[in-house]
Amino acid sequence: MNGDFLALLPKSVVPQVTAAAPEAVQATTVFAFHCREGVVIAGDHRATAGNTIFSDKTEKILDLDSHSLMAIAGVPATAFEMARTLQTTFEFYRRSQLQPMSLQAKIRALSKLLRDNLPATLQGFGVVAPIFAGIELSDPKAGPCIYFYDPLGAQFEAATFAGSGSGSGSIKSVLHFLEKWGDPPPGEMSVPQATTLAIRLLMTAAEFDSATGGVNPELELFATIKVLTRDGIKTIDLKEQERCWREKAR
Amino acid sequence: MLEGKGSMTEEPYRWLEAIGNRREYIRDQIKGGTPVFALSRPEGILLLGIGHGQSKIFEIYDRHGFAALGHPVDIEKVRQAAIEAAHIEGFNRSSKDVTLRRLISFALSTTLKNSFEQIFSPPLMVESLFAELGETPAEDILVRVHYDGNHRYETSGVLVASSESKQEEEAASWIRRTLKAKDGLAQAASLCLTAWQSLVDNKPFTDLAAPEDPVLKIEGKSVEAALLDRKLPGSVHYRILDLNRLKN
């Protein structure tokens, strides 16, 4: 009994593709950045298939357990399955071993799923480039961390922010600018300030990326925004986002 | 066979005798185990056990808990089997499809019965109870599962698992009679601990009165409590309960 849930399954949960597939795209915008209280992780709601908007109500920020989250960018079928696999893996380990999985093990569990997905990634089908946010609860001094991955499974810790998806280029530029010259920089923002920033970032991404959308406060369309602290995960609900937007978090 | 050439299991009367001996052996082995409790309350399902630091109550799945007495290694085997079955079902279908009725009927009771009847392998020496949290106390499910796979569903909202079935029922009846609908978790836990002490001391329940001040600890023992919390947001409802922080 080693607490490995995947060992209980008869085969790999990720699809093994052998046929040629179309060019890889990660049509979305998800990002995470540190704020004063913890880590903000946010994403738009649009899912696309080529030039077609598939849905404007897609949840891309998924709770994996009480203290870890995943933002998905890439092929939804594979990404959702990875998130579901991790949710069960973390809870199975915690319950069977009577202790939570360490942060490093969680980070590597996602890395392993990405590596197992290598055949689909290399063929351009099933590419996933997620962002992970978590916290090492066994260390009383540890704060939340952000990790981003390449589609082959390499993980990198983000000191200040990370972004993924086709709309993340413009967002990363803005976040870099704010970290250097912002007053306050995102790392010193309160949660309401960071919420307003997250909405603005998604609107900026949507301006330049057709695959990012579904966020427009004037039409009462808001993003998924969550905050991770040592107390757990807090979802900034639509009402709260609207309040922050109206008050511009002054 | 009549001439003694067959194996023991081919002779029905010897097989019955072996099963009887096995039952006696298991009962003797778990005699020293102390009782565990499950109470369905408006706040959720209270699980309670008392021991020497060895865990007796456990989380199985989002809305499911388990409490047992017996050999620690066997408790662990049953716990692992329940957790594995629940997580595979929850992963392949959904968490809503993980129900106690299916877990007991298809995964656990069969395993326990097989283990009990395989007379040439060691038996699983576990007396246990399982709980499933519903939306309301009326929808909660409590099941008493015996070492031989036999099980019964308890509808009164009070379930005790002990090594002696007569005393077990007396303790459960006393708690049912004494616990009032408006009583909080502290009072519910206190009655469990009072009943536990009476069971361990082998005292009758006929003259036993509810303590005036809630009893929330037992000298020299570690009291372990958990709540399948009805109001806890999110999918996981199990949480460890610190009895000292409970308000009356």
CA atoms within 13 A on the CB side of A115: 9
Contact list, B224 vs chain A (CB under 8 Å): none
By annotation, the residues of A acting in catalysis are 28
Average pLDDT over residues A183-194: 96
Q: Which residue of B has its CA nearest to A93?
A: B83
Q: Note whether B80 contacts A8, CB cutoff 8 Å.
A: no
| DSSP H or E segment with residue A97 | helix A76-97
In DSSP notation, A18-51 reads: -S--PPP---S-EEEEE-SSSEEEEE---EEETT
Residue A226's nearest CA partner among A218, A238, A215, A216 is A238
Q: SS3 of B144, please? A: strand
What's residue B152's pLDDT? 97
* Residues in chain A within 8 Å Cβ distance of B89: none
| Among the listed residues A131, A141, A150, the one whose alpha carbon sits nearest the alpha carbon of residue A69 | A131
**Interface predicted TM-score (ipTM):** 0.91
Condensed to tens digits (0 to 9), the pLDDT of residues B115-164 reads: 999 988 999 999 999 999 999 999 999 999 999 999 999 999 999 999 99
pLDDT tens track for A100-139: 999 999 999 999 999 999 988 888 778 899 999 999 999 9
User: What does the pLDDT read at residue B10?
Assistant: 66
> A96 to chain B nearest CA, in Å?
6
Task: Closest CB to B59: pick one of A63, A88, A95.
Answer: A95
The Cβ of residue B188 has, within 10 Å, a number of other Cβ atoms equal to 23
Give the separation between CA A25 and CA A15, rounded to whole angstroms: 18
Query: CA angle, corner A103, sides to A8 and A105, nearest 5?
Result: 35
* Closest chain B CA to residue A235: B234
Largest CA distance in chain B: 71
Point out the residue among B59, B87, B234 whose CB comes nearest to the CB of A5. Answer: B87
Among B14, B68, B79, B62, residue whose Cα is nearest residue B38 = B68
Q: Within A101-248, where are the H helices? A: 103-116, 118-122, 168-181, 191-208, 238-247
> pLDDT value at position A176?
97
Cβ <8 Å between B84 and A9 = no
Chain B residue numbers with beta carbons less than 8 Å from the beta carbon of A235 are none
Please give the average per-residue pLDDT across A62-87, as a whole number.
94
Average pLDDT, chain A: 90
Closest CA to A80 of A102, A47, A107: A47
Count the alpha carbons within 13 Å of A151 in the hemisphere toward its beta carbon.
22
B145's enclosing H/E stretch is strand B141-145
**How confident is the model over A227-236, as a mean pLDDT?**
96
Name every chain A residue with its beta carbon within 8 A of the beta carbon of B236.
Answer: 66, 91
Phi, psi of B122 (to 5 degrees): -65, 140
CB A175 within 8 A of CB A186: yes
The type of residue at A104 is: Q
Q: Which amino acid is present at B199?
A: L
Kindly write down the DSSP assignment for every residue of B83-127, as one continuous string: HHHHHHHHHHS-GGG--HHHIIIIIIHHHHHHHHH-TTSPPP-EE
* Count of alpha carbons within 13 angstroms of residue A198, beta-carbon side: 34
Three-point CA angle B128, B188, B68, nearest 5°:
10
Chain A contacts in chain B segment 155-194 (CB below 8 A): none
> Per-residue pLDDT averaged across A41-49, rounded?
88
Residue B18 exposure: Cα atoms within 13 Å on the Cβ side = 17
Instruction: Name the range with the highest mean pLDDT among A125-134, B11-20, B84-93.
Output: B84-93
Whether the pLDDT of residue B88 is over 70: the answer is yes
Shortest CB distance from A95 goes to which of B55, B60, B91? B60
B67, B46 Cβ separation under 8 angstroms:
no
Using CA atoms, how far apart are residues A30 and A72, in angstroms rounded to an integer? 7
Both tokens of residue B125?
Answer: 């020496």
Residue A10 has pLDDT above 90, yes or no: no
Q: Does B105 touch chain A (CB under 8 A)?
A: no
For A2, the closest chain B residue by CA position comes to B80
pLDDT at A56: 81
Mean local confidence (pLDDT), B8-30: 86
Is pLDDT above 80 for A21? Answer: no
- A22 band by pLDDT with thresholds 50, 70 and 90: very low
Cβ contact, residue pair A96, B236, below 8 Å: no
Note whether B221 and B193 are within 8 A (CB): no
| Interface contact A1-B55, CB threshold 8 A | no
Q: Looking at chain A, which residue has its C-alpha nearest residue B55?
A: A98
Percent of chain A at pLDDT > 90 equals: 67
Task: State residue A156's pLDDT score.
Answer: 97
Any idea which of A29-38, A53-62, B195-204 has the lowest mean pLDDT?
A: A53-62
The 8-class DSSP code of residue B196 comes to: H
- Chain A residue numbers with beta carbons less than 8 Å from the beta carbon of B87 are 5, 8, 88, 91-92, 95
Choose among A127, A161, A235, A146: nearest CA to A191.
A235
CA dihedral A171→A177→A183→A188, nearest 10 degrees, is 60
Sheet holding A232-236, edge to edge: A161-164, A30-34, A39-43, A224-229, A232-236
Residues 16-75 of A with CB under 8 A from B: 63, 66
**B110 Cβ under 8 Å from any chain A Cβ:** no
In the prediction, which pLDDT does B148 show?
96
Decide if pLDDT at A14 tops 70: no
Comparing alpha-carbon positions, the chain A residue that sits nearest to B79 is A96
Is the per-residue pLDDT at B5 higher than 80?
A: no
A88 touching chain B per CB within 8 A: yes
Q: Where are the beta strands (DSSP E) in A66-113?
A: 68-71
pLDDT band at B96; cut points 50, 70, 90: very high
CB proximity B84 to A under 8 Å: yes
Q: Residue A1 and residue B59: Cβ atoms within 8 Å?
A: no
Alpha helix ranges (H) inside A128-167 = none
Beta-carbon contacts below 8 Å between A and B: 31
Kindly determine whether residue A88 and residue B87, on different chains, have CB atoms separated by under 8 Å: yes
Task: Please report where in the chains the tokens 């972004």 appear, as a residue.
Answer: A163
At B26-58, the pLDDT tens digits run: 999 999 899 999 999 999 999 999 987 778 999
Q: Which among B26, B77, B38, B42 has a CA at the least distance from the CA of B158?
A: B38
Q: Chain A: residue nearest B77 by CA?
A: A1
What is the mean predicted confidence (pLDDT) over B220-238?
A: 94
How many residues would you count in chain A?
A: 250
More confident position, B66 or A127: B66
B1 confidence band (pLDDT: 50, 70, 90): very low
Say if residues B216 and B191 touch (Cβ distance below 8 Å).
Answer: no
Dihedral sign from CA coordinates of A122, A123, A124, A130: negative
- Say how far apart CA A109 and CA A127 lie, in whole Å: 17
Asked if the C-beta of B66 comes within 8 angstroms of chain A's C-beta atoms, the answer is no
Q: What is the band of B90 on the pLDDT scale with cuts at 50, 70, 90?
A: very high
Task: Check CB contact of B88 with chain A, cutoff 8 Å.
Answer: yes
